[in-house]
Structure 1
Amino acid sequence: MTRILAVDDSTSMRQMVAFTLKAAGFDVVEAEDGRVALDLAAKEKFSLVLADVNMPNMDGITLVRNLRTMPDYKFTPLLMLTTESTPEKKMEGKSAGATGWLIKPFNPDQLITTIKRVLA
């Protein structure tokens, strides 16, 4: 089963993402910030990481940058799911190694389609 790490400091957002992904047949693990996510990623392998940008302790772009230094995550899809939509922020994410960028509020069907596409 495809395991996805959903990272967001908003409990309600994590729950909505997890509900959507679980309904589509994915196994979802949740983390409340980048630091917790990085610790989880060091212990177990995820097929995809979906992360917010703005979080306490470690933001999503720093998380992506750190994940890309780990052998298990060099080629893993790392998607940003955020309210940030400026071209500068998107370029910062791309430079860090983000695979794609989705804007909140998310469309559940679009989220599933995007995840399936990057996992294919």
Structure 2
Amino acid sequence: MTDKREVCDEFCVSPEAVSQVKSKMLAEVEVGHMAEIFKVLGDKTRISILQALMQKELCVCDISAALEMTPSAVSHQLRVLRQARLVKNRREGKNIYYSIDDAHVAAFFVQALEHVRHG
């Protein structure tokens, strides 16, 4: 049963509005990529890792200590985040350091947090 408050009382279509919206719709490939990013961000552990990396660049050992997780569990989540291009890494000697991929990811994280806190 449909809640009456969520549907128009009378079905009517505004061709001009529909045409305007359709002309600005995202390409299917863009929709797919965005859905993947939201799926990746739908995990509490990955959000915690991103939050830690918003503070500073860290190696797996530092992240695992900060989040009280095993290094292998952190590495698995970092792999997912890296594949989604949300984090990047660099090697320094025997250690690999992770950071937020770019300013877009940081801004997205900040915007989402502001929405949670003030939304």
Q: TM-score by structure 2 length?
A: 0.26
Asked which structure has the greater RCO (Cα within 8 Å, sep 6+), the reply is 1
Q: TM-score by structure 1 length?
A: 0.26
Structure with more strand by fraction: 1
Structure with more helix by fraction: 2
Q: Greater CA radius of gyration, 1 or 2?
A: 2
